[in-house]
Structure 1
Amino acid sequence: MVLGKIVGLYGVEGWVKLESYSEPRTQIFKYSPWFVGIADSAVEYANVKGRAQGKGIVAHLHGVDGRDAAGALIGAEIRIPRSALPKPKRGEYYWADLEGLGVFNLQGVAFGKVSHLFSTGANDVLVVRDGNRERLVPFVPDEFVKKVDVDGGRIVVDWDKDF
């Protein structure tokens, strides 16, 4: 599971700036080990030290002790084993579990598959693509999202096909 990404450098001692996908953002430091890499190549880092810094977060990976070594990690994803995450409560989902699910409205019209999600602050939004068209559907259970069947690969939404 991807929990974040290395997006920049912080200082000269090998610290890096992170983009965290966890909520709250500093929750990322509670997981260990991290597997940091690009594509299928990754290096394991245990007991990563980090903190909030201004509006972002920063971390130091053991053995990454200079600006050049840290710079080589910019763009790398931070992953953890799925088994390290707690099981979601009933009615809660990890975004990664929703990505790729087919989306259908109440009339059975296929809208495509969930490409990704993003948060607006008020609610999360499903980005649904069918190749040519993209729909943004608010992920608001009971109001717009009527059923999520992760095992069946489907999400049913109350959404007009022309919207």
Structure 2
Amino acid sequence: MNDPTRRILLGRVIGAFGVRGEAKIESWTEPREAIFRYQPWTLRDAAGNERELSGVRGKPQGKHLVATFPGVDDRNIIEAMVGTEIFVPRAALPPPRPDEFYWVDLEGLRVINADGRSFGTVSHLFSTGANDVLVARGDKERLIPFVQPEFVTRVDFEAGEIGVDWDPDF
């Protein structure tokens, strides 16, 4: 669950802002500005090239964040970075509070319904705006609303599984 070498995707560069080399950042942290607390960043471009970067500063701007990268003052450089993903080591994140967890820590756990039937393992989670959704992949892919305790009845890291109240045919 808590592999310190694992990297976590926290956001990406989505555009240039202004003419002085600032970047528009999409952040998936809560609150979104927290992304600047977790550095150094590993930036990975579409070709898979990676580089480490520290000292990024930023602020909220509308629905996104505006970031300044050290040594970058050219809009063209930022435009070339659009789509670049921002990763940090899992160990850089603070420990979750009791009864809380990071989505990434759920990936790979077995998903078992109330009748003991295995739905496979957690592939990933995503947010719909109305609720979060757990994606379990096994004999087929199941999308299970991550609503506790109605559909997700337990999360047991020691056993490596998540209990769900979900119809296997749905």
TM-score, normalization by structure 2: 0.84
1:30 aligned to 2:37? yes
CA distance in 1, matches of 2:34, 2:130: 21
Residue by residue, what CA displacement relative to the aligned partner does 1:101-151 show, whole Å, maximum 9, x if unpaired? 2211111212222222122344321122336x3322121222221221234
Residue of structure 1 in register with 2:3 after alignment: none
1:109-148 superposed matches below 5 A: 109-130=117-138, 133-148=140-155
1:23-62 map, 5 Å: 23-38=30-45, 41-62=49-70
**1:3-43 superposed Cα distances (whole Å, 9 cap, x missing partner):** 11112221222211111110111111222222212376422
Paired residues for 1:6-17 under 5 Å: 6-17=13-24
SS at match of 1:68: helix
Q: Which sections of structure 2, spanning at least 5 residues, go unmatched?
A: 1-7
RMSD over aligned Cα, in angstroms?
A: 2.0
The one-letter amino acid paired with 1:70 is I
TM-score where L is the length of structure 1: 0.87
Counterpart of 1:86 in structure 2: which amino acid? P
Given the alignment, which residue of 146, 152, 156 partners 1:149?
A: 156
Identity among equivalent pairs (%): 54
Contact 1:118 1:125 in 2 (8 A): yes
Q: Which amino acid aligns with 2:104?
A: A
Q: Which amino acid is the alignment partner of residue 153 of structure 1?
A: G
Equivalent runs, 1:86-101 vs 2, <5 Å: 86-101=94-109
Range with greater deviation from structure 2 (32-41 or 13-22): 32-41
> Which amino acid counterpart does residue 123 of structure 1 have in structure 2?
N
Q: Find the counterpart in structure 1 of residue 4 from structure 2.
A: none
